[in-house]
Structure 1
């Protein structure tokens, strides 16, 4: 079976409102269609990924290529776990957890997007909670980082709610524009000291070797 060869297909994270799991090949077009319909309003630019450029098919292909690239390029020294966010069995977005030299550094980076109709309902917070539960409680991470544009108030709010603190800035190029993001950091000490909703993680033990554990 496919899950025997690639155990992350058996990894499932369940939060109070959403389920995170790796979409099967026959499923990946569905979250791509969610992105095609839009992940932010036309007057916003909350992501480094230029979601506003091109047409809906371009946005869908960005999701497909990112999904396939994460699977094809996985190595213990540098991996990215991209998971679909499902609500009542239907995809509403995607999240990712990535790391370099994780067995030594023990730090992860998170990123996410949700389709416009699903924003502002707490699903993004729960999806991040699921990723962080995997990172801290199962992978044994020491810290989690994220980078957020200063005017991306929704993502900034999620990070503050979960206990992230400022950790400097990053500057990235998008075309001819230099974009400044706040770099935010959540440590294991803060994570373990905060109350949070229950999250269930299944199928992780079979994945340990892929993470270098």
Structure 2
């Protein structure tokens, strides 16, 4: 019998760490994602996102987030993809971890980005969810490099990167809303990765690997 999950096998992917479950965001999850974002992600004076989506009014935030989730899903191909994983902690949606790639078959490189609602920040959950997608990328997809970036002032994000073994990889200047910020790039390889002392639990990977043509 053909089901939505057989047509779109990404929905069956599950990554589990000691405290978190990471799985693709479905349409049914969007209200919880919007509620988590509305609860607050960062201080008003410092927006960590180059596109200030968190500053939208409540009546615009939900549609904007939904469009982004649909756009990433609709544009998903083996040659150019962004996988948006919701983060669940103690049964509650608390944030999003994305992992993506362009020309992965040749470049073997993934990029990551994430957000967590403020009420759960400072507990090491950001490090745990980033470690989860890096473990999946290196050990299951065969990635050779993981890249990330953050505004140079974003010590929290760069601290997570540093703790996992990322190395500095140059800076650029980027439009940041109506301002300009210096962006710090970081780079991780399997050799420099500070692996966690726990094992990642993975479900549904084989179908995703076939979908991405990396088997």
* TM-score of Structure 1 vs Structure 2, range by shorter chain: over 0.9
| Residue 25 of structure 1: aligned partner | 27
| Residue 122 of structure 1: aligned partner | 124
- Whether contact under 8 Å (1:36, 1:57) holds in the other structure is no
Residues paired across the two proteins, number? 212
The reply to whether residue 196 of structure 1 matches residue 197 of structure 2 is: yes
TM-score (norm 2): 0.93
| Residue 12 of structure 1: aligned partner | 14
Q: Report deviation, 1:143.
A: 0.5
What SS class does the counterpart of residue 9 from structure 1 fall into? Answer: helix
- Whether contact under 8 Å (1:35, 1:63) holds in the other structure is no
Distance 2:78 2:112 in 1: 17
Q: Deviations over 1:175-201 (max 9, x none)?
A: 44222110000012122x645322111
| Residue 67 of structure 1: aligned partner | 69
CA pair 15-57 structure 1, distance change in 2 beyond 3 A: farther
Distance 1:195 1:11 in 2: 21
| Residue 212 of structure 2: aligned partner | 211
Q: Report deviation, 1:75.
A: 1.1
Q: Structure 2 matches for 1:1-213, cutoff 5 A?
A: 1-191=3-193, 194-213=195-214
- Whether contact under 8 Å (1:108, 1:143) holds in the other structure is yes
Q: Report deviation, 1:61.
A: 2.9
Q: Report deviation, 1:20.
A: 0.3
What residue ranges of structure 1 are gaps of 5+ in the alignment?
A: none
- Whether contact under 8 Å (1:147, 1:170) holds in the other structure is no
- Whether contact under 8 Å (2:10, 2:24) holds in the other structure is yes
Q: Report deviation, 1:84.
A: 0.2
What is the aligned-residue RMSD (CA, Å)?
Answer: 1.5
Q: Report deviation, 1:44.
A: 1.7
